[in-house]
């Protein structure tokens, strides 16, 4: 506590709070718009931070990061177009709630779950940074591979009734991730002689394609133009408020997802999307009522969003304790630290106590401000429900195209996005779930790099996956999931078949 | 020919599986011909394994579809979702989107986006010209100012514009 | 229908008028600076830092455009395909400029470009964990000679740190096992976690670990010691003449008019030699190693001939 008090002087300035708030607003907007991504926003904001106090500059970057990680859920819930890849897990149940006229519930739960998870993450960072770093270092290549396999088995639960189609989608995602430069040899593969394909399939084009473009086409197909209600939704209506039952279902889920998310955040190279999917899948398979999921389960929204935002503070663990950035955003912040003569690592806590304490306080302040700004921002975002589909979706398409240009400046990627949009639309129509495709694409590199690096470390001996304890635990979890999900699928089928046979008899 | 008649009666899942199997064959032939690098596990190992799995699952899907076709009379076997005809607006919007992107390097961001918004709005059944015009003017302008002036990121310029 | 037609007419007129106004003094519209790596990477951060003062010097905004992918080849290719009017410049690095075209068929060579100037030549440091028994390069070489094939090193495949260590291993007759990494930070993590025994890395990647005492530098692969790490001896001092130093600089496609190129060079020289900018750059990246255009071009040629035998099949 005394340690934290030294930091009060560092953060108690209007500049810090102004830039923190600005960062949060910018982050939420950037995060919510499909096509604009947080790393780009942080990179663009970097030059601004050099002109202000170090802590204020970092406050702005932290604000963009936290706001951006949360912002994707707003559009995911309201129009089924996730603004960030991680929010696609939120969309599964969140948008279903919107269709049932309970958008407010989903929005509020995603904000509260995010903020609670952030605060858990803040506390973990402040209290357990050093032991967590030691844990993070134990996640080497074999562990990454096994964790990836475990996360992949959860795809089974996300497949909504048709496991074969879900697995095909996941395999397709995994396969699409292997195009382009092979990360471990630098050779081009699967380029089919196309130089443009040397870059692989652009992740952002895939995300916007299968979600935004596909949703726009599906809306057009279903002619849902008139279904949206007229007039703004009132967040104070009972249908839009969280009741005790909602909290009873969600709180345990938020707790578990926050803790798992905090650990995922501390490991370099995993990130919020892995956490969101892992927690969503886990909550669904551990739930006593798994049938609620995918049909508007409030705890589904809670699991995805808590998992998503729980990484936002623990991601600073490797940066502060080891001096190693875990992702692009912390890499930029490392620059900002060094810019002010601060050397992250164990010495930072001893030599720069007040600054580190100030940084910690600022992160907690960011979480609290996130709650306030997010709650106020909700009023602005629900206004999109007043915009009718014929106006909204052309705009979403233009934003998608613009977003690709801003991120990759490549016409090829824009056409790729349209192609993925058509693919996503067809997948929707044919009953292939989309989330497994994205999970496969995200986990592909984790699994492949883990597998190949572990093979080299073990000099070709594959038992390394079983002899390293953490890796073995993950593989055991994977096996357990397969058994549980397989058993559920089997009993479900029998249940379905029996009524059908009775039908035939009559 | 019984085979051709069988294909005609295949449901949407069966067709999807056939397309997937075809794709798997293309990818597999490419992967097997390319030279693999790396120690122990090569750059081609995982892609080949995944394609194999995908082909196996597709075969399973096809088998299920064929079984359904055999089991039930053709009319009843079709699920409502899969046989719904294609709405002409969907390919039209895709074509319009491609036209928009193709036009970008020629007419510039503002004009192409404005034109696209009007056309797409019409496809979605918006007939209120006032709304269409306002959205076509305001949104691209706003985005252009935001990106080029505030964030200093260039949007596609054109031979006619700039 | 009518209002649309009028509007379109008006827009078209506007477009034509601005189109005609072009072809005046260079520069008179924003310049796009292509970065061939992702937003937020070390090259990107440096480019964004340079863009602001360079824009002020030229009088027009310089916009950073990220075109990542294909080992940097996509963005490099795009810089080559852009109109030769000087409104597209390339923030170029050893990776996309020398190594990728040597290794893969990407359809361009280093001399398809005209140098503007070098901004950074990073020093490469051979790092080990603090608890490693090796204190000098000689310790490590003796250990590696005694047990060939035992020790692992981490590096992104076929980039400067990897190739430099390969050159060292060849000149000392060592047999080391390469554990490919995806990037600098994952490599540093692998070293700290003990997955690899040694790590050749850009100074910026390991700077905080070295200063924080988590890692120890055995050698610097430059002609002189790095001023930021005066305690780490060069490889040459220890008897191994192995050098490696990945660059970041600016280039344009060949064929850009002479006067345009001259304007760019003057502006770049001014900014790169401005101490205020240098101070800022030290903060995020590494110390600036400014070189004017001709010498930068010579660096390209030197690196191309050095690495060609190692990479070409």
Cβ-based neighbour number of residue C22 at 10 Å = 10
How far is Cα A470 from Cα A466, in angstroms, rounded to an integer?
9
Cβ of A225 under 8 Å from any chain B Cβ? yes
Note whether B42 and B17 are same-domain residues.
Answer: yes
Asked whether residue B55 is assigned to any structural domain, the reply reads: yes
Cα end-to-end distance, chain A, whole Å: 73
Question: Cβ distance A309 to A119 under 8 Å?
Answer: no
**pLDDT of A223 over the 60 cut:** yes
In this predicted model, what pLDDT tens digit does every residue of A27-78 receive, in sequence order? 999 999 887 888 888 888 877 777 788 888 889 999 999 999 999 999 999 9
In this predicted model, what pLDDT tens digit does every residue of C244-271 receive, in sequence order? 989 999 999 999 999 999 999 999 999 9
pLDDT, chain C, mean: 86
Token pair 């089991």: residue: B71
Cβ of B153 under 8 Å from any chain C Cβ? yes
What is the DSSP secondary structure assignment for residue B145, as one 8-state letter?
Answer: I
Nearest CA of chain B to the CA of C63: how many Å?
A: 5
Last residue of a domain, one of B61, B83, B105: B83
Nearest CA of chain B to the CA of A393: how many Å?
A: 8
Superfamily for C124-220? Periplasmic binding protein-like II (3.40.190.10)
Cβ-based neighbour number of residue C6 at 10 Å = 9
Note whether B99 and B116 are same-domain residues.
Answer: yes
* C211–A347 CB contact, under 8 Å: yes
* B90–A220 CB contact, under 8 Å: yes
What's residue A404's pLDDT? 87
Residues from chain A that touch B54, judged by Cβ atoms under 8 A, are 168, 171-172, 175
How far is Cα C189 from Cα B149, in angstroms, rounded to an integer?
39
How far is Cα A113 from Cα A90, in angstroms, rounded to an integer?
11
Note whether B52 and B108 are same-domain residues.
Answer: no
Asked whether residue B159 is assigned to any structural domain, the reply reads: no
CATH architecture of C27-122+246-311: 3-Layer(aba) Sandwich (3.40)
Segment A407-429 mean pLDDT? 91
* A406–B155 CB contact, under 8 Å: yes
* B152–C16 CB contact, under 8 Å: no
Segment A271-280 mean pLDDT? 91
In this predicted model, what pLDDT tens digit does every residue of C52-85 receive, in sequence order? 899 999 999 898 888 888 889 999 999 998 889 9
Cβ of B152 under 8 Å from any chain C Cβ? yes
Residue A117: closest CA among A266, A261, A13, A327: A261
* A409–C78 CB contact, under 8 Å: yes
Q: State how many domains chain B has.
A: 2
DSSP H or E segment with residue C30: none
Of A198, A268, A325, the CB nearest to C73: A198
**pLDDT of C16 over the 60 cut:** no
* A190–B156 CB contact, under 8 Å: no
Asked whether residue B27 is assigned to any structural domain, the reply reads: yes
Note whether B28 and B74 are same-domain residues.
Answer: yes
Domain of B27, in residue numbers? 2-83
Tokens found for residue A114: 């995010």
Asked if this assembly's ipTM is beyond 0.90, the reply is no
Of C208, C280, C283, the CB nearest to A345: C208
Tokens found for residue A202: 């652009």
What's this model's pTM, rounded to 2 decimal places?
0.88
3-state secondary structure of A270: coil
Tokens found for residue A194: 């196309």
Note whether B113 and B133 are same-domain residues.
Answer: yes
Note whether B70 and B9 are same-domain residues.
Answer: yes
Write the DSSP assignment of A90-151 as a string of letters: HHHHHHHHHHTT-HHHHHHHHHHHHHHHHHHHHHHHHHHHHHHHHHHHT--HHHHHHHHHHH
Question: Cβ distance A437 to A173 under 8 Å?
Answer: yes
Interface test with C, best of A35, A39, A43, A138 (most C CBs within 10 A): A43
Note whether B68 and B109 are same-domain residues.
Answer: no
In this predicted model, what pLDDT tens digit does every residue of A3-24 receive, in sequence order? 777 878 778 888 899 999 999 9
Chains touching chain C through at least 3 C-beta pairs below 8 angstroms are A, B
3-state secondary structure of C36: coil
Q: In chain B, which among 81-140 make CB contacts under 8 A with chain C?
A: 107-108, 110-111, 114-115, 118, 129, 133, 137
Residue A272: closest CA among A442, A444, A393, A441: A442
Chains touching chain B through at least 3 C-beta pairs below 8 angstroms are A, C
**What are the start and end residues of each CATH 3.40.190.150 domain in chain C?**
27-122+246-311
Question: Cβ distance C158 to C243 under 8 Å?
Answer: no
Helices marked H in chain B? 2-9, 12-33, 45-71, 74-77, 80-83, 89-107, 109-123, 129-144
Last residue of a domain, one of B83, B111, B135: B83
Which of the two residues, A244 and A386, has the higher pLDDT score?
A: A244
Helices marked H in C128-284? 137-146, 160-172, 184-193, 203-211, 258-272, 275-284
Q: In chain B, which among 23-62 make CB contacts under 8 A with chain A?
A: 27, 30-31, 34, 37-41, 43-47, 50-51, 53-54, 57-58, 60-61
Note whether B6 and B54 are same-domain residues.
Answer: yes
Last residue of a domain, one of B62, B83, B104: B83
Note whether B26 and B64 are same-domain residues.
Answer: yes
Q: Mutual orientation of helices A272-286 and A435-457 as an angle, nearest 10°?
A: 110
**pLDDT of C8 over the 80 cut:** no
């Amino acid at each position: 506590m005394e340690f934290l008090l030294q930091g009060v002087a560092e953060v108690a300035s209007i500049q810090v709070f102004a830039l923190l708030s600005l960062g949060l607003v910018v982050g939420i907007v950037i995060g919510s718009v499909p096509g604009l991504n947080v790393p780009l926003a942080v990179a663009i904001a970097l030059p601004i931070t050099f002109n202000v106090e170090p802590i204020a500059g970092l406050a702005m970057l932290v604000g963009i990061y936290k706001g951006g990680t949360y912002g994707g859920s707003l559009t995911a819930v309201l129009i089924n177009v996730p603004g960030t890849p991680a929010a696609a897990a939120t969309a599964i149940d969140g948008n279903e709630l919107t269709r049932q006229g309970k958008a407010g519930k989903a929005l509020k739960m995603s904000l509260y779950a995010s903020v609670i998870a952030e605060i858990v993450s803040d506390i973990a960072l402040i209290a357990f940074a050093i032991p967590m770093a030691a844990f993070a270092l134990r996640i080497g290549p074999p562990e990454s591979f096994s964790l990836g396999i475990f996360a992949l088995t959860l795809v089974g639960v996300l497949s909504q009734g048709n496991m074969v189609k879900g697995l095909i989608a996941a395999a397709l995602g995994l396969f699409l991730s292997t195009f382009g430069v092979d990360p471990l040899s630098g050779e081009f593969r699967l380029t089919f002689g196309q130089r443009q394909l040397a870059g692989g399939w652009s992740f952002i084009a895939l995300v916007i394609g299968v979600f935004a473009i596909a949703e726009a086409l599906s809306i057009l197909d279903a002619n849902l133009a008139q279904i949206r209600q007229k007039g703004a939704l009132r967040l104070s209506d009972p249908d839009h408020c969280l009741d005790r039952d909602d909290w009873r279902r969600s709180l345990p889920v938020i707790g578990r997802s926050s803790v798992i998310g905090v650990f995922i955040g501390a490991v370099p190279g995993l990130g919020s999307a892995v956490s969101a999917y892992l927690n969503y899948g886990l909550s669904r398979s551990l739930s006593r009522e798994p049938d609620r999921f995918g049909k508007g389960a409030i705890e589904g929204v809670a699991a995805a969003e808590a998992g998503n935002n729980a990484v936002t503070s623990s991601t600073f663990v490797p940066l502060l304790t080891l001096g190693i950035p875990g992702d692009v955003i912390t890499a930029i912040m490392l620059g900002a630290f060094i810019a002010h003569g601060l050397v992250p690592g164990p010495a930072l806590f001893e030599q720069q106590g007040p600054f580190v304490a100030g940084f910690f306080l600022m992160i907690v302040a960011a979480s609290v401000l996130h709650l306030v700004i997010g709650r106020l921002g909700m009023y602005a975002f629900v206004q999109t429900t007043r915009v009718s589909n014929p106006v909204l979706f052309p705009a979403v398409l233009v934003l998608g195209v613009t977003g690709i240009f801003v991120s990759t400046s490549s016409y090829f990627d824009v056409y790729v996005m349209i192609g993925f949009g058509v693919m996503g639309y067809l997948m929707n129509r044919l009953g292939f779930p989309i989330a497994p495709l994205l999970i496969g694409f995200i986990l592909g590199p984790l699994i492949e790099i883990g597998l190949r690096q572990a093979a080299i470390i073990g000099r070709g001996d594959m038992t390394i996956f079983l002899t390293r304890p953490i890796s073995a635990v993950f593989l055991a979890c994977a096996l357990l999931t397969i058994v549980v999900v397989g058993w559920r699928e089997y009993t479900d089928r029998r249940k379905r078949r029996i009524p059908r046979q009775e039908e035939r008899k009559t | 020919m019984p085979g051709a008649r069988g294909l005609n009666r295949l449901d949407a899942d069966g067709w999807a599986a056939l397309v997937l199997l075809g794709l798997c064959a293309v990818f597999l032939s490419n992967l097997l011909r390319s030279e693999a690098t790396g120690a122990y596990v090569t750059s081609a190992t995982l892609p080949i394994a995944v394609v194999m799995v995908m082909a196996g699952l597709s075969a399973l899907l096809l088998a299920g579809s064929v079984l359904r076709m055999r089991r039930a009379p053709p009319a009843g076997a079709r699920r409502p979702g899969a046989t719904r005809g294609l709405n002409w607006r969907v390919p039209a919007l895709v074509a319009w989107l491609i036209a928009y992107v193709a036009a970008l390097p020629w007419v510039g961001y503002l004009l192409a986006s404005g034109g696209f918004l009007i056309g797409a709005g019409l496809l979605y059944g918006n007939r209120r010209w006032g709304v269409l015009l306002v959205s076509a003017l305001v949104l691209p302008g706003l985005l252009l100012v935001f990106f080029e002036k505030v964030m200093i990121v260039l949007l596609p310029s054109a031979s006619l514009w700039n | 229908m009518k209002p649309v037609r009028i509007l379109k007419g008006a827009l078209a007129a506007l477009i034509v008028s601005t189109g005609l106004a072009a072809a005046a003094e260079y520069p008179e519209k924003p310049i796009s600076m292509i970065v061939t790596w992702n937003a937020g990477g070390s090259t990107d951060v440096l480019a964004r830092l340079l863009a602001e003062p360079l824009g002020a010097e030229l009088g027009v905004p310089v916009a950073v455009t990220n075109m990542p992918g294909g080992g940097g080849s996509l963005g490099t290719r795009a810089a080559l395909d852009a109109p030769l009017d000087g409104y597209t410049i390339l923030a170029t690095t050893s990776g996309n400029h020398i190594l990728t075209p040597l290794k893969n068929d990407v359809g361009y060579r280093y001399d398809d470009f005209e140098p503007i100037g070098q901004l950074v030549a990073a020093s490469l440091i051979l790092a080990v964990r603090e608890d490693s028994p090796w204190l000098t390069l000689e310790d490590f070489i003796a250990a590696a000679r005694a047990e060939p094939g035992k020790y692992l090193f981490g590096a992104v495949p076929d980039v400067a740190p990897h190739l430099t260590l390969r050159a060292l291993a060849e000149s000392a007759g060592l047999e080391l096992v390469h554990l490919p990494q995806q990037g600098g930070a994952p490599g540093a993590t692998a070293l700290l976690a003990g997955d690899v025994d040694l790590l050749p890395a850009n100074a910026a990647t390991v700077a905080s670990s070295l200063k924080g005492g988590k890692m120890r530098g055995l050698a610097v692969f430059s002609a002189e010691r790095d001023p930021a790490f005066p305690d780490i001896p060069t490889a040459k001092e220890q008897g191994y003449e192995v050098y490696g130093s990945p660059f970041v600089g600016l280039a344009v496609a060949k064929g850009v008019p002479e006067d345009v190129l001259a304007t760019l060079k003057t502006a770049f020289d001014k900014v790169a030699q401005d101490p205020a900018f240098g101070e800022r750059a030290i903060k995020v990246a590494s110390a600036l190693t400014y070189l004017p255009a001709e010498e930068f071009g010579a660096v390209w040629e030197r690196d191309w001939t050095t690495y060609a035998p190692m990479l070409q099949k």
